[in-house]
Amino acid sequence: MSAMTVMIDPEQAWAAVLARDRASDGRFVTGVLSTGIYCRPSCAARHPARGNVRFFANGAEARAAGLRPCRRCRPDDLARDEMAVVAALAAIREAEGPPVLADLAARAGYSPAHFQRLFTRHTGLSPAAYARALRAERAAAALSAEPSVADAIYAAGYSAPSRFYEGTRGRLGMAPSAWARGGEGVAIRWAVVPTSLGALLVAATDKGVCRVAFGESESELASRFPKAALTAGDEDFAALVAEVVAVVEEPGRGSALPLDVRGTLFQEKVWQALRAIPPGETCSYAELAAAAGHPGASRAAGSANGANPVAVLIPCHRVLRANGDIGGYAWGEAIKRELLRREKGSQ
């Protein structure tokens, strides 16, 4: 659906304006009929009277109605901002070394400080942190493909082995040599068990639970960990599985089970923020991004939410759209609704 056909809920839009919600920038513009200007929802100018406000899908619609862009928040610069971030992402991916903030900012025509804030607001990470996360992801892939650890380190873009070990310490979840063998030597126990919400896959390493998913099987687990040693769970493992099932059946009870999950720096911040949402409560993607320390990065927070590898234990089902709609869920809307219903009922 294009921006020209989006239906704007006036009350939700006005709430976003009062909150100066940066996550709403680009979704609509605020027309102030008394002054003849239009602004971003997050504009820092004094709020107009509600009766003087009309909402438009974009600047073109506002200009067609005879309004001009605000000189303070520059709503028409939003497209330019997004293009600048897209260009910077491409430059970082293509660069052989770490990005230089001043160079990225100069290409976009912004000051380094302004571009740093702009990039972080759109992606949830600073340019330097994004580059580090990108190298770490490349390292994980290269360690599975290259014939030696040293080859993988340089293929991922690290200038020296010391930089690799410094940058990935505690993040890959296993030794680099194990990654080079595609996870070979890492033991993962698993089981598929029935629950009232359908079949549930539970898998764990010796460090903690690494996968919880509705409707998945051993073959799908093997595709995630192609060379790990997968072993059907024994009686000892059954106790852990029973605890996971208990949380599914009563999601408001919480759990102290250890987790062994890895993601980018931003993803892990989002997952930590999710675990801080009390049972029976929900938040929006914008609120989740703010809780993770990156206000305005609601889209990136949504992606991190969707990448959650352990259903229920990291309660990604507690995030709704800003308008209160249920939103997406990796394991189906019906399961998400039922988990939320159970949590509400336990309060």
The first and second tokens of residue 14, run together, are 């006005």
Is residue 316 annotated as a catalytic residue, yes or no?
yes
Kindly state whether residues 62 and 89 are assigned to the same domain.
no
Tell me the C-alpha distance between 92 and 212, whole Å.
34
Last residue of a domain, one of 123, 141, 158: 123
Q: Is residue 260 part of a domain?
A: no
- Return the CATH number at 304: 1.10.10.10
Radius of gyration of the chain (CA): 23
Is residue 70 annotated as a catalytic residue, yes or no?
no
Kindly state whether residues 235 and 272 are assigned to the same domain.
no
pLDDT in tens, 26-66: 778 999 999 999 999 989 899 999 999 999 988 889 999 99
Q: Is residue 304 part of a domain?
A: yes
Kindly state whether residues 27 and 69 are assigned to the same domain.
yes
Does residue 266 have a pLDDT over 50? yes
Tell me the C-alpha distance between 105 and 24, whole Å.
24
Stretch among 108-112, 206-210, 247-251 having the lowest mean pLDDT: 206-210
Last residue of a domain, one of 251, 275, 302: 251
Last residue of a domain, one of 216, 251, 286: 251
Q: Is residue 114 part of a domain?
A: yes
What 3 state SS string does 228-241 have? CEEEECCHHHHHHH
Q: Is residue 156 part of a domain?
A: yes
* Cα three-residue angle 186-143-177, rounded to 5 degrees: 50
Domain of residue 154: give its range. 130-180
Kindly state whether residues 270 and 339 are assigned to the same domain.
yes
Tell me the C-alpha distance between 48 and 137, whole Å.
47
Closest by Cα among 40, 48, 34 to 16: 40
What is the pTM (predicted TM-score) of this model?
0.54
* Cα three-residue angle 224-229-234, rounded to 5 degrees: 105
β pairing state of 283-284 and 229-232: unpaired
Q: Is residue 87 part of a domain?
A: yes
| 138 pLDDT tier (thresholds 50, 70, 90) | low
Report yes or no: 226 and 182 within 8 Å, Cβ to Cβ: yes
SS3 211: strand
Closest by Cα among 25, 266, 263, 261 to 128: 266
How many distinct structural domains can be found in the chain?
5
Kindly state whether residues 53 and 86 are assigned to the same domain.
no
- Return the CATH number at 232: 3.30.160.70
Kindly state whether residues 135 and 192 are assigned to the same domain.
no
Write down the catalytic residue from 39, 43, 210, 283: 39
Kindly state whether residues 304 and 337 are assigned to the same domain.
yes
Q: Is residue 259 part of a domain?
A: no
pLDDT in tens, 301-342: 899 999 999 999 999 999 998 888 888 899 999 999 999 999
Write down the catalytic residue from 43, 70, 73, 316: 316
Q: Is residue 258 part of a domain?
A: no
Q: How far is CA 267 from the centre of its chain?
A: 5
| 171 pLDDT tier (thresholds 50, 70, 90) | very low
How many other β-carbons are positioned within 10 Å of the β-carbon of residue 107?
Answer: 13
Residue reference for tokens 């993962």: 188
Q: Can you give the pLDDT at residue 136?
A: 65
The first and second tokens of residue 254, run together, are 């919480």
Kindly state whether residues 191 and 240 are assigned to the same domain.
yes
The first and second tokens of residue 214, run together, are 């509705």
Report yes or no: 161 and 150 within 8 Å, Cβ to Cβ: yes
Mean residue pLDDT of the chain comes to 81
DSSP sequence for 18-42 = HTT-GGGBTTBEEEETTTTEEE-TT
Q: Is residue 64 part of a domain?
A: yes
Kindly state whether residues 277 and 332 are assigned to the same domain.
yes
Kindly state whether residues 193 and 164 are assigned to the same domain.
no
Residue reference for tokens 């192609």: 226
Kindly state whether residues 340 and 270 are assigned to the same domain.
yes
The first and second tokens of residue 94, run together, are 């293509």
Kindly state whether residues 215 and 170 are assigned to the same domain.
no
